[in-house]
Chain A
Amino acid sequence: MNLKNPNEKGRFGPFGGRYVPETLVPACNELEKSFIDAWNDDSFRKELDSLLSDYAGRPSPVTECFNLSSELNCRLLLKREDLNHTGSHKINNVLGQALLAKRMGKKRLVAETGAGQHGVATATAAALLNMECCVYMGEVDVKRQELNVFRMKLLGAEVKSVESGSKTLKDAVNDAMRDWVATVEESYYCLGSVMGPHPYPWMVRTFHEVIGTEARKQSEEILGTTPDVVCACIGGGSNAIGIFSGFIDSDAELVGVEPAGGAAIGRGVPGVVHGMESFLMQDEFGQVLEAESISAGLDYPGVGPEHSYLSSTGRARYESVTDAEVIDAFQLLSRSEGLIPALEPAHALAWVSREREYLTGKTVLLNLSGRGDKDVGQMMEILNV
């Protein structure tokens, strides 16, 4: 059994939908049709599969953390999405969407980015497929992720610094949507997470299901059964939904870990922004609050609608960790296993580390969604090195 598809209105239970300006409705309809058509076309699937293996380096391995496991008294496995080309899981979705964009005859990719991982992945795919690329990134993130900004430029993309609102991911999404409204005929909006208007949450999830499919097989080979706990960090929630998808029908407890300063499920209530109905951090009037997190990639006040649904049905639970716990976890994994994680998956590890008592004796599969090279500069400042 897999995750359910949304209904014809793009809803997972009550969540999801398509709340976009009229200008974009026909584009969303066209995208939905094109995606379904492509996904049912063997030649599209073959082309994507070969890019994922020969270009992105899939399958990514699962690594058992012997040192950390003995320290935490659990059996910890990492799904190594950090080993993908461009350094995170983002490439899975981007290759799928970029191929789709090409198939739809689009010449330009528009994307938003927080930490820059999705922006780098999009710029990479644009370079590979010979498309134009324009990435919107909040001014705050441009500063704290300057390495990724340079990578995008090297790859030939234009990076536009967004100076409105909180100057982070939320506002980058706003500007990317505004760009799309103006250029909808030639541009393809390559959204970076399982969020936005239908069909994005469903389509992006579908492109990331490869994580869960591989991890299910790999963890069963290592453990002889499915893990007790599968956990992942949550911003919009794409890496989490990817790995959850492989275990939805297992007994595994599914845990999404949000940053305390951007805990849409933990601190939000249902709302509508960026095309979707989902949990959202907002004030009493419905103004969206600014998320505050050490990790640019999770600095988002909303969450993908399918996570709101999985939370409401109880199939997954959502916890949050503080920046301080994340800083500790970042160093813990680096020292104990020789793996420098991105700050985003360090959230998931922070939860594992904090809940070590609860996890004692259990098998835990954690999605290591990205590597930490991009965060080293920021950590140098934080740790006063």
Chain B
Amino acid sequence: MSNLDVKRTAKLFIGGAFPRSESGRTYEIFDKNKKFVANVALASRKDARDCVVAARSAFTKWSEATAYNRAQVMYRVSEIMQGRREQFIEELSYWTKSKKEAEKEVDEAINRMVWFAGWSDKLAMVTGSNNPVAGSFFNFSVPEPTGVVATIAPEKSPLLGLVETIASAIVSGNSVIVIASETQPLAAVSLAEVLATSDVPAGVVNILTGSYKEIAPWLASHQDVNALDLTGVDKKSIAQELENQAAINLKRVLRPNTKLDGLTRIKTFLETKTVWHPRGF
């Protein structure tokens, strides 16, 4: 008997489950030679809204997990990415000039996940402080996650860029909704499968495929989203419009083409909590 050729359906990743788009829509993607590759779910605004609900309910537990635990979970993600290295390379090769280029992106993406994981239990030391005050008090400032982060991942760096946007948000305890590369979403679909099997609690990362131009405005204006990462927005006027929408509830915004050095990306999605503590007990 010959083997069945079982094709994978590329679906969304919402609240730890893999649903089709609520709208039932899909779109076709093509490789660098304009050859058909796959049908991918085309997310709607309702899917985006479901993501926000999932991300919000996941936030409490993830943000209250210990930094050590979050680091372990993120390290586990990189372990499983390593196991799926060949699959990622194959999926990127549809669009990269050479296989070598794909290999390089996958390896870098895995390294980047580990790099961010390492920051989890060091952030408080670097971004927090023990403040001098003129009285008999202790005064601390400690970093806290900002909440639900909506992210538009870069179009042309479908794995490395995606990993970076996700990892920089979740490392401090945020939960994230990410709109993956529209034309090269296969690696994002695989990364969702990695996340689902690596102890990342359901809802901490939610991945949508489709057009950010359609979905992002709904996330930018959503009152239950706390920050907006515009890294993947390629048009200035759209970025401006999204930023205007984000202003309604004072979301933190990471603009496209921001010069990112060191911890800028992580720090964008942090709040600072300052505590006065009476001395003496």
Are A and B a genuine interacting pair, yes or no? no
A interface, CB within 8 angstroms of B:
none
- Residue numbers of B with Cβ under 8 A of A are none
